[in-house]
Chains A and B, each alone.
Chain A
Amino acid sequence: MQQHNLTITAKHQPVVLERLLQVTRYRGFNVVGMTMFPVSELEQLTIELSVVSDKSVDNLKNQLLKIIDIEQIKVEDQALQKFMA
């Protein structure tokens, strides 16, 4: 099991958060941390999502990018982050 941190930029639409969590669960990832805050005068959201799974995070990223209201995703894995720190 590896932890991955995703930084997601999304349109601030009512359904986007549910879709994000639904796809994340369906594709086999557990959410272990989540922070979200609006940016650019409430039109956009930044969501910091930490997930664990033994599945490929690239596959999750590609599935999440198909959500119409998600604009951008950056992925960092935990091991790399610790090394950098």
Chain B
Amino acid sequence: MTGAELTLQILQQHGVDSVFGYPGGAIMPLYDAIYDSPIKHFLCRHEQGAAFAAVGYARASKKVGVCLATSGPGATNLITGLADAMSDSVPVVAITGQVPTVAMGSDAFQEVDIIGLSLAVTKHCVQVTNVEDIPTAIEEAISIALSGRMGPVLIDIPKDIQVAETQVGGKGPMNGNGPTAVDCHHDLAIEQAKTLISQAKKPVLYVGGGVGMADAVSELREFSQLSKIPSVSTLKGLGTVAADDEYYLGMLGMHGTKAANYAVQQCDLLIAVGARFDDRVTGKLKEFASNAKVIHFDIDQAEVNKRRLVDVALLGDLKVNLPATAVTTDIAPWQQYCRRMIIDFAWQYDHPGEKIFAPALLNKLSQLMPDTTVVTTDVGQHQMWTAQHMAFAQPENFLSSGGQGAMGFGLPAAIGAQVSRPNDTVIAVSGDGSFMMNVQELATLKRYGIPVKIVLIDNARLGMVRQWQQIFFEERYSETDLSDNPDFVMLAQAFDIKGQVITTKQQVDAALKEMLAHDGPYLLQVRIDELDNVWPLVPPNAANEAMLESVK
């Protein structure tokens, strides 16, 4: 057996049945082995697309996502996807081909030091120097990607190692495929947390992406139902608290709801669960929940006291620590106050004129789509509108590039999600700027008949940057006018993808229904006014209660 065949065998033994990639010189032996392998390979049309598809696959399925690329430019094209996986703690294994061992270090054709390049964007990386090390390298990579705080791992395999013959085999899967957690369950911290929670008069539960990744959604919901503590969510936490929970205030932060931001600013106890006090969440850090004590539940010791000093830290598995600290509370006035804010500050979808109001369209889409739908987004105004106005049944049903805010994420992530969940509807909500960043992946939809539905919110602008130019840069619209965009419906047609463009409110219902009912990929281009903005907006370096709701 060759190193390439062994690589695929070990991946298969660990339950990997689909990989995303792009062939090239230094990875040709592995692609030759793929030719006979039961593992399904999905050819993306750019390595960045393959990396994002692996991220989408991993996030939608909670399994490891695998992507492949050749040496040099193939490998460097993975970097943005790995950076996204690093920031958002996504278990991805990237396998890159490398020039033969004898050529390494000689500035050979398509040689790049991908180990050096990947240091800052991977949890771990390894170069295989002996064919017999392949099983251990892959087994460790999968285990590291999925354990503790999950993240991407890169394995670089020189071409001569891929063709080398070997008799070694794999040991088979190690301890299943699920995330394992460090055990730091401290009785004292548990008691301190319970005391703080029972004494608080105005507590808020601040729910992050870590809850879904720890597979602790039901534990979080039980905690929330018992304590009846009002809750807020980060972008990555959306779908964790049930959208119809009586005391759920919505997303917090820069584009959070008024109810969520006011509640957090006024709370006397902030209970952070799998969240990391990101600057888009906190606004001006010194003024973020400045009267609150903090309890921080996390799997990563390095997140504790990183941005905010905490009163109690509970490190370890949320599935253990959440039930251990669940207590009842006596906070009726605070609950009533939060309920009042939820009602008073509810979103308004009435909107003057004939033009389409993107928040209303997305809210309608949310009502029409099945509960099991996966929604991905790109980055910008449409991303924030999706976060604000759509509801998700589970966190693995909403995939967005959070930490990196990587434009071009939406379409390839939707492809990965659809491959992992072939029976569920997958919708990519995109913008006309982001869509063009990985538009070549329309060819991947065509090649495999992947039935992703694309909702393209088109304002012929780089909308979020344009919004900031309008508000903070004296309306100097530098390089954000995209009114020379291609004809998107014709572009989709070139890939055999059906599509239509809508421009008025009365077209919305029928168009959404047609898209959802269509058997195959579909592109719905939604023209909106270029001056539509995302509100509320917390200006940079301001406290979260200083939300703008219009251009002054």
Contact = CB atoms under 8 A, between A and B. Distances in A.
Interface of A: 13-15, 18-19, 22, 26, 56, 58-59, 62-63, 65-66, 68
A58 B123 CA distance: 20
Given A14-B127, A15-B125, A68-B124, A59 B119 contact: no
Nearest to A60: B302
B300 A15 contact: no
B115 interface: yes
B301 A68 contact: no
Contacts of B305: 56, 58-59
Interface of B: 115-116, 119-120, 123-127, 144, 149, 300-302, 304-306
Contacts of A68: 123-124, 144
A28 B116 CA distance: 20
Contacts of B126: 13, 15
Nearest to A58: B305
A66 B125 contact: no
17 contacts: A15-B115, A15-B125, A15-B127, A18-B116, A18-B119, A19-B119, A22-B119, A22-B120, A59-B302, A59-B306, A62-B302, A62-B304, A63-B302, A65-B301, A65-B302, A66-B149, A66-B302
Nearest to B147: A68
A77 to B, nearest CB: 17
Given A15-B126, A62-B302, A68-B124, 15 more contacts: A13-B126, A14-B127, A15-B115, A15-B119, A15-B125, A18-B116, A18-B119, A56-B305, A58-B305, A59-B305, A59-B306, A63-B302, A65-B301, A66-B149, A68-B144
Interface hub of B115, B123, B124, B302 (most chain A Cβ within 10 A): B302
A55 to B, nearest CB: 10
A19 to B, nearest CB: 6
A38 B144 CA distance: 25
A59 B306 CA distance: 6
B157 to A, nearest CB: 15
A24 to B, nearest CB: 12
A26 B115 contact: no
A31 B319 CA distance: 40
A79 B127 CA distance: 41
A-B residue pairs, 8 tightest by C-beta: A62-B302, A68-B124, A62-B301, A22-B119, A63-B302, A19-B119, A59-B306, A66-B302
A13 B133 CA distance: 14
A9 to B, nearest CB: 18
Contacts of A19: 119
Contacts of B123: 66, 68
Nearest to B303: A62
A13 B124 CA distance: 12
A67 B306 CA distance: 17
Contacts of A59: 302, 305-306
B301 to A, nearest CB: 5
A78 B300 CA distance: 28
Contacts of B300: 66
A25 to B, nearest CB: 10
A13 B119 CA distance: 14
Nearest to B306: A59
A10 to B, nearest CB: 13
Contacts of B125: 15
B306 to A, nearest CB: 6
Contacts of A18: 116, 119
Nearest to B124: A68
A62 B315 CA distance: 13
Nearest to A22: B119
A68 B305 CA distance: 22
A11 to B, nearest CB: 11
A58 B303 CA distance: 11
Contacts of B301: 62, 65
A26 B302 contact: no
A13 B115 CA distance: 13
Contacts of A63: 302
A62 B302 CA distance: 5
A66 B115 CA distance: 18
A22 B149 CA distance: 20
A61 B125 CA distance: 20
A63 B302 CA distance: 5
Contacts of A15: 115, 119, 125-127
A26 B116 contact: no
A82 to B, nearest CB: 26
Nearest to A56: B305
Interface hub of A18, A22, A62 (most chain B Cβ within 10 A): A62
Contacts of A58: 305
Contacts of A56: 305
Nearest to B115: A15
B6 to A, nearest CB: 22
A21 to B, nearest CB: 9
B127 A26 contact: no
B118 to A, nearest CB: 10
A73 to B, nearest CB: 12
Nearest to B149: A66
Contacts of B120: 22, 26
Nearest to A21: B119
A58 B304 CA distance: 10
B85 to A, nearest CB: 15
A15 B21 CA distance: 25
Interface hub of B119, B120, B125, B144 (most chain A Cβ within 10 A): B119
Contacts of B116: 18
A19 B119 CA distance: 6
A14 B137 CA distance: 14
